[in-house]
Amino acid sequence: MTRQWLYAGAALLALAAAPSRADTLVVCSEASPDALNAVLSTANTSFDVSEQIADRLVEMEIGGSTVKPALATAWTISPDGLKYTFTLRPGVKFHANAAFKPTRALNADDVVFSFQRMYDKEHRYAKISGGTYLAFSAFIGSALKSVTKTDDLTVVFTLNTPLAPLLSSLSVQPFAIASAEYAAAMDKAGTPEKLDLDPIGTGPFQLVQYQKDSLIRFRAFPDFWGKDGSSAGGGQPERAAKVDQLVFSITPDPAIRFAKLRAGECQIARYPNPADMPAMRAAPGITVQESTIASMGYLSFRTDKKPFSDKRVREALSLAIDLDSLVKAVFQGTGTPAAAMVSPTLWGHNPALKPRPYDPAKAKALLAEAGFPTGFATDIWAIPVARAYMPNGRRAAEMIQADWAKIGVTAKIVTFEWGEYLRRARNNESDIGMLGGTWDYPDPAQMMGGFTCQALTNGRNIPQWCNTAYSDIVQQANLVTDPAQRTKLYQQAQQIFYDETPAMLFADAKAFVGVRNAVQGFKLHFLGGQPFGGVSLKP
């Protein structure tokens, strides 16, 4: 990481530590991003950064699930579903920084570069910053054949096979359009990694400063294409920056986030501790926003390693967890025990599946049948940050540890800093570990695709589970367009996942955020990164 990102001046530190100026919106966020450029990540901490500074061809409406035009104003799909032709928005300007000043508006070359970097292993930028494109591999990598330029404002996506959720997938932050001109300039300067360490985009805010575990600062981009509703192709004034500066004050402890919110040191506090919700609702000058979300939190088992390769062991460990008590203690009214991979808030949910009952006697019998009558020792990885799908990983791990001790299984709790946790989990270093996510686009394919055999090598299939029946059904569902047929297929796949138990699901959750009454225009968004364009402060 370059010096400019390690250094933060005293004035910037003071900005995060003291009540903000009227033109500065301070958000108490929960963790440092694992990457500043979301192309390298699948985590919302990274998506939140990218959402402010970069745009995609299409996007989801804020707080909803409708695909809207963004950098593309229109598109057509060939009858066979193998060609998507996008018309680009004219006159869109990129940000500038100390190392680069753009000389042209966005064009087709930028779109081609942004995707070719991910799918062409011989591309100059393919291996920069590690060259691991998790979301691309998981969402569209197997289907995408090429992205080509027809003219300056027209690009064509050619697919190997039809992909029903392609448009929704393209709304996710890792598919933001980067500047090919910036990439070429940094490559020529011998610093190609600046494309990812100091990213620029076309979004409502421009990235100014990052200090790991402290803060991220943005400033409003005055030339944002969307601020004028009458601009060519139609603008999006609701996404334009309404404050001069935006600051993410990185505060891992939810109690401290709440304290800062009460003190006026931040105007928005994300991922509150469920135990703090009554006090937050009663606090003067503060409103709690909430939203049902499509999420999936789970405890994964390494199915390719003994003893977890035995389905009886996985089922025993699941039966030994008192899920009702865990959800009550950890989610505290913000979740209900889950059994189906797809949330009830999303189409494709399988309502026939019910959480397994707490049955330590049956669990002990299954362990004995599998050859472990006295149990065994293992580690359990506890997620270190609050997420909507897991508000308190440490508390959940402690309860699981106590439950498993009753059947002879001794579990040591392990955790790491969030970025390191993600890196190790994606490298499949955990035998038993917590992970999860919220849907970034409203299609079951996103999460369900992460458990296919094809996902074994892209860092998403944490349990390293390969069930060909499950994988074939999910792949088939990606090829058909009839919603009823797709729903039936996804429900069948969820039944297989439930029966085979590569992971135990925790809860169907709600998301909450504390907002000071001076904040106007904020809407809780549950698909991808949280936008702060359109948010203003009362004088």
274 against 361, higher pLDDT: 361
* Calpha distance 308→430 (Å, rounded): 12
CB 286 within 8 A of CB 280: yes
Average pLDDT over residues 162-170: 92
Tokens of 209: 């400063």
CB 428 within 8 A of CB 399: no
pLDDT at 216 over 90: yes
CATH number for the domain running over 3-267+518-537: 3.90.76.10
Average pLDDT over residues 239-268: 96
Classify 433 as helix, strand or coil: strand
Tokens of 155: 């690009």
Residue 200's pLDDT is 97
pLDDT at 413 over 80: yes
pLDDT digit string (tens) for 53-71? 999 999 988 766 678 999 9
Average pLDDT over residues 326-353: 94
pLDDT at 13 over 70: no
CB 455 within 8 A of CB 467: no
Tokens of 156: 């064509």
pLDDT-derived band at 232, boundaries 50, 70, 90: low
Q: What percent of the chain has pLDDT over 90?
A: 78
pLDDT at 2 over 50: no
10 Å Cβ neighbour count for 91?
A: 11
Lowest mean pLDDT among 15-19, 37-41, 184-188, 433-437: 15-19
CA distances from 171 to 269, 283, 388, 459, 497 (A): 25, 36, 21, 21, 27
Q: Which helix (H) or strand (E) holds 418?
A: helix 418-426
CB 87 within 8 A of CB 73: yes
Question: Per this entry, what is the length of the chain?
Answer: 539
* Calpha distance 156→172 (Å, rounded): 19
* Calpha distance 238→533 (Å, rounded): 7
Helices and strands, counts by H and E, the chain: 18, 21
Nearest in space to 332 (alpha carbons), one of 391, 393, 254, 261: 391
CB 500 within 8 A of CB 300: no
Residue 425's pLDDT is 92
Lowest mean pLDDT among 25-34, 224-233, 286-295, 325-334: 224-233
pLDDT-derived band at 18, boundaries 50, 70, 90: very low
Classify 504 as helix, strand or coil: strand
Lowest mean pLDDT among 90-94, 477-481, 502-506: 477-481
CB 407 within 8 A of CB 439: no
CB 313 within 8 A of CB 372: yes
Residue 64's pLDDT is 67
pTM of the model: 0.84
* Calpha distance 465→423 (Å, rounded): 19
Q: Which residue has the tokens 């990606």?
A: 478
* Calpha distance 248→25 (Å, rounded): 9
13 against 152, higher pLDDT: 152
Nearest in space to 381 (alpha carbons), one of 356, 334, 355, 417: 417
Strand 24-29 and strand 268-270: pairing? parallel
Classify 113 as helix, strand or coil: helix
Average pLDDT over residues 399-405: 98
Residue 457's pLDDT is 80
Beta carbons within 8 Å of 523's beta carbon, 6+ residues apart: 62, 63, 289
Residue 437's pLDDT is 87
SS3 annotation, 140-191: CCCCEEEEEEEECCEEEEEECCCCCCHHHHCCCHHHCCCCHHHHHHHHHCCC
CA 188 to chain centre: 32
Lowest mean pLDDT among 21-35, 348-362, 363-377: 21-35
CB 138 within 8 A of CB 460: yes
Residue 229's pLDDT is 65
Lowest mean pLDDT among 29-38, 91-100, 134-143: 134-143
- Provide CATH 3.10.105.10 ranges for the chain: 295-509
pLDDT mean across residues, the chain? 92
CB 538 within 8 A of CB 520: yes
| CATH fold label, 295-509 | Dipeptide-binding Protein; domain 3 (3.10.105)
Residue 526's pLDDT is 75
Average pLDDT over residues 333-359: 94
pLDDT at 483 over 70: yes
10 Å Cβ neighbour count for 500?
A: 18
* Calpha distance 474→283 (Å, rounded): 46
Helical axes 180-188 vs 108-119, angle rounded to 10°: 60
pLDDT digit string (tens) for 489-527? 999 999 999 999 999 999 999 889 999 999 999 998 877
Phi/psi-derived region of residue 129, left when phi > 0, alpha when psi is between -120 and 50, beta in every other case: left
Tokens of 109: 């070359």
